[in-house]
Structure 1
Amino acid sequence: MLRWLLLIPFALLVAMGAGLFAMLVASVVSPEIALLIGGGFQRLMEALFGLAESDIDPTPVAQAAFSLLGRLGMAIIVAPVVLVAVFSELFRLRSGLIQSGLTGLLATVMPLAMLRLSRAPSEAEMRVIGALFLIGAATGFVYWLIAGRGAGAARTVPTGAPRR
């Protein structure tokens, strides 16, 4: 029980921090990710300040934009590692490869499903998709390092009781 109350939440928080760090590293290494993160944020700020200068209330646009950013952050960093952690704990999956791979796969698929990409991705979009997979895999790997190796750990059996 202590594992579910302390270790798993701690591991998830550290893994999410590692995912954010991996996203930062990806933005330094990949111009597409840098443009997606930095360029998108810069354009958003320019649009909001442009609306304010034109005496138009930027609040609805800002709320919509930050809501979308929050949902994308949840889809890339939070939801994949939480879902895989719960899945691995319930089914006692202790493999780092499974946890990293499934988290990377979910970190790739969930944002694409949210954005409803209905065409074949371009070469630059494929690099972003690859970076999303690596960010998710890094997040899953850090979770596995802290708590995943003992996923679904067997409960201790009292002395003298028959083992199942």
Structure 2
Amino acid sequence: MRVLGRLLILSLALLLAVPAGALTLVLVLVLDPAAQAWLAGGALAGLDATLSDLAAGMAPETMLLALAGLAQALSVLLVAPPVLVALVGETLRLRALAWYAGAAGLLTAALPWLARGAVRPGGAERLAAEGHLSAILFLTGATAGLVYWLVAGRSAAQPPRGAPGA
């Protein structure tokens, strides 16, 4: 019975943690001036490319596939780190806030670097921009980890009620 209860709490915590991380990402991208410039430049370039591709006769289905790819990348970025950290934390019965927030933040920030597999050539400006993006992603993952810890992580190692030492 305890396992079912933990699974329910784990699911609820993840159901709350993932949107909290997504909300943090959106807020930081909207409020941070450097992220605004990066987002506006990327959005305008993407809109320009989309409109020129549509004018050239590209099928709208191709655009839907590109949007599906973006949605998949965002789900990997926002869902995978808190789920992985939660599973490891629950398996090892960890209760530390540092584990849930820190590990989720580090994993989220590291995902683009791990996916790329190598350092991109470029100067200090590119490295600073990528470091800034990594800090934004760390904050996103840390927020998701914090929400998970608040809901389920604090009680991960507690013995069942009525057990000796409870």
Same fold by TM-score greater than 0.5: yes
Structure-1-length-normalised TM-score: 0.82
Q: 1:18 to 1:39 in 2, by over 3 A?
A: farther
Q: Which amino acid aligns with 2:137?
A: L
- Residue 151 of structure 1 is matched in structure 2 by 156
Could you tell me which of 26, 31, 34 is aligned with 2:33? 31
- Structure 1 residue 62: deviation in Å? 4.0
- Structure 1 residue 141: deviation in Å? 0.3
- Structure 1 residue 152: deviation in Å? 4.0
- Residue 13 of structure 2 is matched in structure 1 by 11
CA distance in 1, matches of 2:20, 2:13: 10
- Residue 115 of structure 2 is matched in structure 1 by 114
Percent of residue pairs bearing the same amino acid type:
32
- Structure 1 residue 101: deviation in Å? 0.3
Question: How many pairs align?
Answer: 159
RMSD of the alignment, in Å?
Answer: 2.4
**Larger relative contact order (CA 8 Å, sep ≥ 6):** 2
CA distance in 1, matches of 2:18, 2:40: 20
- Structure 1 residue 136: deviation in Å? 0.5
Q: 1:132 to 1:66 in 2, by over 3 A?
A: same
Preserved contact between residue 75 and residue 111 of structure 1 (Cα < 8 Å): no
Structure 1 unaligned spans of 5+: none
SS, match of residue 95 in structure 2: coil
Q: Which amino acid aligns with 1:75?
A: V
Structure-2-length-normalised TM-score: 0.81
- Structure 1 residue 69: deviation in Å? 1.7
- Residue 101 of structure 2 is matched in structure 1 by 100
CA distance in 2, matches of 1:62, 1:149: 41
Structure 2 unaligned spans of 5+: none
- Please identify, of 140-149 and 70-79, the stretch whose mean Cα deviation from structure 2 is larger: 70-79
- Please identify, of 95-104 and 45-54, the stretch whose mean Cα deviation from structure 2 is larger: 45-54
Q: 1:119 to 1:39 in 2, by over 3 A?
A: closer
Q: 1:112 to 1:128 in 2, by over 3 A?
A: same
- Structure 1 residue 13: deviation in Å? 1.1
- Structure 1 residue 80: deviation in Å? 0.4
What is the CA deviation profile of residues 39-80 of structure 1, one whole-angstrom value per residue up to 9, with x for unaligned ones? 4344333322321222222433541x3344233213321000
Q: Which amino acid aligns with 2:78?
A: I
